[in-house]
C-alpha cells in the first residue's frame, strides 16, 4: 500500500493490484426507526479507477463501476463505536483486489456522525440487527445479487464491531456483564465509557449466512462461556499489545471461552486503533487518537501484513481456491 498527498488530501491505493476496485455507497430504510441506513461496498471491477473524495480522504476507485463477472465471496464489516464505514477501507480494497465483495455497515446511532446511542442498551441491541440488515440489502441489490456467492460469506469486526460480529456468529451477549466488569475495570482500560448502563438485557441475533469471522480488538466481556457455545464457525482473533481501550483480559478470556480455539495473534507494540486505515503524519493531528500509534509502531507496514493475513484467513475459512496454491 502507498500514499500520495494531492491538494492537501490523501490518495490511497494498494500496490501490486491484480484488478481494479469499484466502490459505491448504497442507502436503504432502517427497519428500527424508518431512517436512512447506509452501506459502503467495494468490489472487483474492470472499470478504470479515478480519485474519489470522501471527507479528508481521496480513494483511487472506480465509483459506481460494474461488478466484475463471476460469483464473488462476500465479507461484511462492522466498525467500532463512533467509527465509520470507511475506517477499514484499505483492508476492504485489498480484499476487493483479490476478488471479494466487501460491504461495510454504517451503524446509525453509533457512528462518527450520529453517536446518540453510545453506551446504551440500544447500541448493543441495534448493532447486530444493522449488520444483518446491511447483508440483506447487499444480497438483494439487483447489480450485486447475481455476482455474489451466498455460500461464502464472512464477517470482520473491530472493537464494538467485534462484539457485533460475535453476536451475528451465534454468540449470546449478556449486557449486565458490561456494567459488572466496569465496577472494577482493569487499570488503564478506557472501554468503560460504554459500560455504565445497568441492564439485564440479553442480545441474541445469529445470522446463519456468516460462515467465518475475523475479530480485531473485540469487546469480549458480554460473553460467558455458555454464551459462546453457539459460535462454531472459524474465528481469527487479534489483540493489540498496547491497547488502551480494551484490556488484554477481555480478549484473552474471550479466546479461552470460545468452544473451538481460534487463530490468535498479539500484535506487538500496537495500540487499539492500529487496525484502522493508516493515515500519513500530516493528517494524523487533524484526525486525533484513531490516527495515533505508540512510538515506533508502523501502522502502514503492519497493514501490509494484516491485509494479506485477512485475505488468507477468509480464503481458507471459506474454501476459496486460487491458482498456484
pLDDT at 259 (0 to 100): 97
pLDDT at 8 (0 to 100): 30
pLDDT at 284 (0 to 100): 82
pLDDT at 324 (0 to 100): 53
- pLDDT by residue for the chain (325 residues), tens digit each? 233 322 233 333 333 334 799 999 999 988 777 889 999 999 999 999 999 988 777 899 999 999 999 999 999 999 999 999 999 999 999 999 999 999 999 999 999 999 999 999 999 999 999 999 999 999 999 999 999 999 999 999 999 999 999 999 999 999 999 999 999 989 889 999 887 678 889 999 999 999 999 999 999 999 999 999 999 999 999 999 999 999 999 999 999 999 999 999 999 999 999 999 998 777 888 888 999 999 999 999 999 999 999 999 999 999 987 665 4
3-state secondary structure the chain: CEEEEECCEEEEECCCCCCEEEEEEEEEECCCCCCEEEEEEEEEECCCCEEEEECCEEEEEEECCCCCCCCEEEEEEECCCCECCCCCHHHHHHHHHCCCEEEEEECCCCECCECCCCCCHHHHHHHHHHHHHHHHHHHHCHHHHCCEEEEEEEEEEECHHHHHHHHHCCCEEECHHHHHHHHCCCCCCCHHHHCCCCCCCEEECCCCCCCEEEEECCCCCCCCCHHHCCCCCCEEEEEECCCCCCCHHHHHHHHHHCCCCCEEEEECCCCHHHHCCCCCHHHHHHHCHHHCCCCCCCHHHHHHHHHHHHHHHHHHHCCCCCCCC
pLDDT at 18 (0 to 100): 40
Domains and CATH numbers, the chain: 2-317 (3.40.50.1820)
pLDDT at 55 (0 to 100): 77
Amino acid at each position: 500500500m502507498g500514499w500520495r498527498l494531492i491538494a492537501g488530501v490523501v490518495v490511497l491505493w494498494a500496490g501490486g493490484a491484480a484488478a481494479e476496485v469499484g466502490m459505491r455507497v448504497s442507502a436503504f430504510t432502517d427497519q428500527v426507526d424508518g431512517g436512512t441506513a447506509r452501506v459502503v461496498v467495494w468490489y472487483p471491477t474492470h472499470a478504470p479507477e479515478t480519485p474519489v473524495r470522501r471527507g479528508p480522504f481521496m480513494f483511487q476507485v472506480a465509483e459506481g463501476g460494474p461488478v466484475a463477472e463471476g460469483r464473488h465471496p462476500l465479507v461484511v464489516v462492522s466498525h467500532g463505536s463512533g467509527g465509520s464505514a470507511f475506517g477499514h477501507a484499505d483492508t476492504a480494497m485489498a480484499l476487493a483486489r483479490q476478488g471479494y465483495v466487501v460491504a461495510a455497515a454504517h451503524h446509525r446511532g453509533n457512528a462518527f456522525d450520529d453517536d446518540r446511542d453510545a453506551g446504551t442498551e440500544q447500541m448493543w441491541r441495534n448493532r447486530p440487527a444493522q449488520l444483518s440488515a446491511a447483508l440483506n440489502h447487499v444480497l438483494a441489490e439487483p447489480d450485486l445479487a447475481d455476482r455474489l456467492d451466498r455460500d461464502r460469506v464472512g464477517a470482520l469486526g473491530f472493537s464494538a464491531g467485534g462484539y457485533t460480529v460475535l453476536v451475528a456468529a451465534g454468540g449470546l451477549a449478556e449486557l449486565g456483564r458490561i456494567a459488572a466488569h466496569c465496577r472494577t475495570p482493569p487499570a488503564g482500560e478506557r472501554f468503560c465509557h460504554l459500560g455504565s448502563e445497568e441492564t439485564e438485557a440479553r442480545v441474541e441475533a445469529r445470522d446463519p449466512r456468516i460462515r467465518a469471522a475475523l475479530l480485531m480488538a473485540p469487546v469480549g466481556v458480554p460473553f460467558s462461556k455458555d454464551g459462546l457455545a453457539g459460535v462454531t464457525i472459524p474465528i481469527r482473533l487479534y489483540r493489540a499489545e498496547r491497547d488502551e481501550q480494551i484490556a488484554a483480559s477481555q480478549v484473552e478470556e474471550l479466546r479461552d471461552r470460545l468452544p473451538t480455539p481460534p487463530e490468535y495473534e498479539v500484535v506487538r507494540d500496537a495500540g487499539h486503533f492500529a487496525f484502522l486505515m493508516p493515515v500519513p503524519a500530516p493528517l494524523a493531528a487533524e484526525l486525533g487518537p484513531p490516527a495515533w500509534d505508540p512510538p515506533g509502531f508502523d501502522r502502514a507496514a503492519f497493514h501490509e501484513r494484516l491485509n494479506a493475513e485477512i485475505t488468507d484467513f477468509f480464503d481458507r475459512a471459506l474454501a476459496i481456491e486460487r491458482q498456484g496454491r
